[in-house]
Amino acid sequence: MNAAEEDLDIKLQKISGDFIEAFDKALPDLLRKSDGDGGTRVRSVVRSRDLYKLVAFVHDTLARAGGRAVS
C-alpha cells in the first residue's frame, strides 16, 4: 500500500462514523412511510427527489474523502 492509499484510508475512517449514522437516519424515511395508525409501512414507490438527495449525499461524502465517485 502506497502513501496515497494510506492517506485515503485514513480519510475514509475519519468520516465513516458520521456517514453511516447519517445514512442510517435517512434510509428509513426514504423506504418507509406512516400507515396512519402510528406505525410505518414500506413505500411502494420512492420519491425521486428523496432518492436523489441520498445519492448526492453519498457522492459528496466520497468526494470529500478523495475517493472516486461514479458518475
Summarised one tens digit per residue, pLDDT across range 16-61 is 888 888 888 888 888 999 998 989 999 999 989 989 998 898 888 8
- Residue 13 inside a domain? The answer is yes
- Residue 25 inside a domain? The answer is yes
- Residue 43 inside a domain? The answer is yes
Q: Check if the beta carbon of residue 58 is closer than 8 Å to that of residue 23.
A: yes
59 closest CA partner among 67, 69, 51, 49? 69
* Residue 71, pLDDT score: 52
- Residue 41 inside a domain? The answer is yes
* Residue 26, pLDDT score: 87
Q: Is the pTM of this model over 0.85?
A: no
Residue 58: give the domain boundaries. 3-65
28 closest CA partner among 49, 43, 48? 43
- Residue 70 inside a domain? The answer is no
C-alpha cell read off for 45: 414507490
Number of domains in the chain: 1
Kindly give the interhelix angle for 3-31 and 48-65, rounded to the nearest 10 degrees: 160
- Residue 54 inside a domain? The answer is yes
